[in-house]
Amino acid sequence: MTPFHLIPDALSAAECAALTALCAASPLKDAGLVGATTAHQIRRADLSWLDDLPEAAWVLDRMMRVVAQANREAYNFDLSDFAESPQVARYTAEREGHFDWHSDIGAGVLAARRKLTIVVQLSDPADYDGGTLELRPDSTIRQAPTTRGTAIIFPSFTLHRVTPVSRGIRWSLTLWSHGPAFR
């Protein structure tokens, strides 16, 4: 099994810019953890939930195709649905935006069913420093590419983090595909 699978150009640069602008113009919420807790030492970012933005309905349709392709090419997991709203995260240097090591499978009813995590880089990498998505599927830490519009797909049990942003703003889209328990 590959530590992560890439789908280049999952979104065009224009689509990334449009989605970022839409979210920036909407009220953003302080990012929390599973169970609606907040711990800024673990996660510091602002979120926009796409279910709250009717103009962003096209994103889930596109990502469903991306996930189907990645699952066929790399994982062959038993997937059944997308039970959670996609989210766009804004990590700013001003807030030292980051998300410490974690996996996306949790104790919550929906988080327990997460099988694949999908992260799409929305920002141009020249617009920020830091903010690197790092994955640790084993004892080796791997950096995900920062190419705008690229989807990075990985099993939701994989440890990963976003390093602190030290300059500018990093925007990313995250969603999860769900299914029955691993066995």
Q: Average pLDDT of each block of 10 consecutive residues along the chain (183 residues)? A: 88 98 93 65 90 95 96 96 96 94 90 96 97 95 96 97 97 97 85
**DSSP-derived secondary structure letter, 25:** T
Domain 5-32+40-178 has CATH 3.30.420.480: no
DSSP one-letter code for 144: P
Cβ atoms of residues 171 and 76 within 8 Å: no
Do you know the residue count of the chain? 183
Q: Are 165 and 128 in contact (CB under 8 A)?
A: yes
Would you state the structure tokens that stand for residue 91, as one six-digit string?
Answer: 């990590």
Domains of the chain, by residue range, sit at 5-32+40-178
